[in-house]
Amino acid sequence: MAKLLMKGNEAIAEAAIRAGCRCFFGYPITPQNQIPEYMSKRMPQVGGTFLQAESEVSAINMVYGASGAGARVMTSSSGPGVSLKQEGISYLAGAQLPCVIVNIMRGGPGLGSIQPSQGDYYQATRGGGHGDYRLPVLAPSSVGEAVELTRKAFDLADKYRTPVIVLGDGMIGQMMEPVELPDDGESAREPESKPWAARGWDGSSPRAIINSLYIDPSVLEQHNLALQRKFAEIEKAETSFASERVEDADLVIAAYGTMARIARSAIRMARAEGLKVGMIRPVTLWPFPSEPFAQAARTAKAFLTVEMSAGQMVDDVRLAVAGRKPVHFYGRTGGMVPTVRDVLSRIKEAV
């Protein structure tokens, strides 16, 4: 396996193809354009489908159709485009259809900016559309990890029959880093058959009906309870995080994505000055890794959450710490990125 220098967006697209994704439906929006562009070039080479839809609304519903027909399928977007997809995502969750949705976050609200942001944390981790549902949300902090998590997203989607979100900030999408791409065979672990898929009814098994409508409330409640059981199973089995130097830390930083890299540099400088600082980096934003935060609350004196947002993940950190220790927050919005110096000075204020 040779190392390749790739842009995050292109690496995500190639990783999807190597995970066996053969259908992509998208719509242009910065800063994720290299994903559909790359797919438009690569899909015909591997006998797959690339289609530029007339809107994000249409793209997500094409995903619904292809997924319901049993295909490994992906779409990608950012900001306003992801908002437009929400009705469709809710249908996908309700009908239990596997797919991967990449959100390369930009500044908001509204048309906002095209600069990197982490302002869609709430939208991604709380389901985003209408109704009671959650989706696994994977947050890479390097191009290499984006490759790994894209492949994982397809596997989780098929395993649990659920849409999965890969949530990157604009920097992950745009930066170039050396990556190792898995060989096709290595990662394409698509289930051999999807008996629930609608591919034509031969009469030998019950008809496939892809649907999220349950008009009888007691039946819909049963459906919701089944979904909740699935979500509990995902929480138990799929929570993922990385912790760095937490054991002796007085201050534990919480950060994900690009923000975690900036925080890491600040921690290194703080340590050099004798300050005991560590970090917990959630890799799955949902399910949120509450456990390591609860544990750290026994030994650490305080927490500091840093985000490219006005403070969203900090809510989950506070829920996990449950008032046992103070949880501070530092963030910037609108496409402004906190610098290492900024974070370092916040660390000094907090310890």
Binding site for another protein (CB under 8 A): 23, 25, 49, 51, 53-55, 57-59, 61-71, 73, 87-88, 91, 95, 198-203, 207-213
Nearer to another protein by Cβ, of 75 and 290: the residue is 75
Q: CB-based contacts of 200: which residues, under 8 Å, 6+ apart?
A: none
d(CA 207, CA 45): 34
Minimum CB separation of residue 62 from another protein in Å reads 4
Q: CB-based contacts of 156: which residues, under 8 Å, 6+ apart?
A: 136, 138, 162, 164, 234, 238
What is the SS3 string spanning 10-35?
HHHHHHHHHCCCCEEEECCCCCCCHH
110 torsion bin: left (phi>0), alpha (psi -120 to 50), beta (else) = left
Minimum CB separation of residue 199 from another protein in Å reads 6
Minimum CB separation of residue 45 from another protein in Å reads 16
Nearer to another protein by Cβ, of 22 and 281: the residue is 22
Grouping H, G, I as helix, E, B as strand and the rest as coil, residue 18 is helix
Minimum CB separation of residue 208 from another protein in Å reads 4
Q: CB-based contacts of 216: which residues, under 8 Å, 6+ apart?
A: none
Minimum CB separation of residue 51 from another protein in Å reads 6
Nearer to another protein by Cβ, of 207 and 236: the residue is 207
Minimum CB separation of residue 230 from another protein in Å reads 20
Question: Quick one: how far is CA 238 from the chain centroid?
Answer: 13
Nearer to another protein by Cβ, of 59 and 167: the residue is 59
Query: What residue has token string 């006005």?
Result: 310
Question: Quick one: how far is CA 175 from the chain centroid?
Answer: 17
Nearer to another protein by Cβ, of 54 and 291: the residue is 54
H/E run at residue 49 = strand 49-52
Nearer to another protein by Cβ, of 145 and 190: the residue is 190
What one-character DSSP code corresponds to residue 244?
E
163 and 102 Cβ atoms separated by less than 8 Å: no
Minimum CB separation of residue 328 from another protein in Å reads 42
127 and 191 Cβ atoms separated by less than 8 Å: no
Grouping H, G, I as helix, E, B as strand and the rest as coil, residue 273 is coil
Minimum CB separation of residue 46 from another protein in Å reads 14
Nearer to another protein by Cβ, of 70 and 108: the residue is 70
Q: CB-based contacts of 37: which residues, under 8 Å, 6+ apart?
A: none
Nearer to another protein by Cβ, of 135 and 300: the residue is 135
Nearer to another protein by Cβ, of 207 and 298: the residue is 207
The first and second tokens of residue 3, run together, are 């190392």
Minimum CB separation of residue 322 from another protein in Å reads 39
Q: How many CB atoms lie within 10 A of CB 182?
A: 16
Q: Strands 137-138 and 284-286, how do they pair? A: antiparallel
